[in-house]
Structure 1
Amino acid sequence: MVAKSTILDALRESIPDCDTATKYLKKVESQFTDSSKTYASTLINKLFNEKYTGGDIREHILKISNTTSKLKPMDLGLKNEFLIHLVFTSLPEEYETFVVNYNMQPDKWDIEKLIAMCVREEERLKSSQGDSANLVKDNKKNFNKNAKPQGKAPQTEHHQKNSNAQVEKD
């Protein structure tokens, strides 16, 4: 009765009564066995569908590493090499050269080296892209055939030559 009183009502009602506490605890354990399989499937699905979309690459790698560590108690732990390749497959096309360079090296990285190298590559990619600005002009057109043209008259050839000369001086 003591063990039964500490369990949630919804769970308590789904477990049949037993003669001994040991049998009752076995029934409780059986209620959670199937859910651990579902949990493992959810984690594996999350691992294979995880994609890096920007932000901090260190967080992305640690998130994948954390998810794989949750699989270890279920005897589904992944080897370090597989984890490294899993991270590489989650990276976008910008990292393709980086991944090829890793695959051509004879040595294998651990998770710490992977994080350090990915952070360095992220910084290199950010610096090579540089800053950019977009120019948007207001280009409204009047589609009414009967309307008179609006706005400035076209520049004459003389005015264009002066403005070009001024630009050349600048």
Structure 2
Amino acid sequence: MEKTLTLFGCMDKNLALREEQPAPLIAKSTPNAKRGFERWDRSNCMSIMIMKYNIPEAFMGIESKKIARANSFLDKIKKCFAKNNKVEMTSFLTSLMLVKYKGQGNIREYIMEIFHVTSRLKALKINLSDELFVLMVLVSFPP
């Protein structure tokens, strides 16, 4: 999803994601208001088309024909793909507890792999002390 949002920014098509929908046009609308509405509407249509192309409907769980605004579409996609931090924490903690050095490969790379898991846990606001990290590494080595 981040790649798609970056693409919108590079193409200058993220107007519909940055700004709210302008007021509907009326007969007395100024040419400047008409131009602004047309820019926003084009940005909205392009954003929706690109998002629909990049995310298959089977994964979205959203009927794409009902989508009228890129912002609401993006919000629905975010809800569908919301991360469950507890599951992610459990997964990282389990892998940290069960990791064992098998005697093959570079020890430095192995330690960096464990460090990567602990840094992911820190990103989830679970701070492990350096002493615990060292202990986890030492315990994972064979006797």
TM-score norm. by structure 1 comes to 0.44
Letter in 1 for 2:99: E
Out of 47, 53, 59, which is 1:5 matched to? Answer: 53
Q: How does 1:30-109 map to 2 (within 5 A)?
A: 30-55=79-104, 56-93=106-143
Q: How far apart are 1:38 and its partner, in Å? A: 2.9
Give the whole-Å Cα distance in 1 for the aligned partners of 2:139 and 2:120.
20
Give the whole-Å Cα distance in 1 for the aligned partners of 2:69 and 2:77.
13
Q: CA RMSD in A?
A: 2.5
Q: How does 1:11-30 map to 2 (within 5 A)?
A: 11-12=59-60, 14-16=61-63, 17-30=66-79
**Structure number, greater radius of gyration:** 1
Q: How far apart are 1:24 and its partner, in Å? A: 2.2
Q: What percent identity do the matched residue pairs reach?
A: 29
CA gap of 1:69–1:53, structure 2 versus 1, over 3 A, is: same
SS in 2 for 1:72: helix
List runs of 5+ in structure 1 lacking aligned partners.
94-170
CA gap of 1:85–1:42, structure 2 versus 1, over 3 A, is: same
Counterpart of 1:128?
Answer: none
- Higher relative contact order (Cα pairs below 8 Å, separated by 6+ residues): 2
TM-score norm. by structure 2 comes to 0.51
Q: How far apart are 1:50 and its partner, in Å? A: 0.4
Q: How far apart are 1:30 and its partner, in Å? A: 1.9
CA gap of 1:27–1:81, structure 2 versus 1, over 3 A, is: farther
Q: How far apart are 1:10 and its partner, in Å? A: 2.1
CA gap of 1:68–1:20, structure 2 versus 1, over 3 A, is: same
List runs of 5+ in structure 2 lacking aligned partners.
1-47
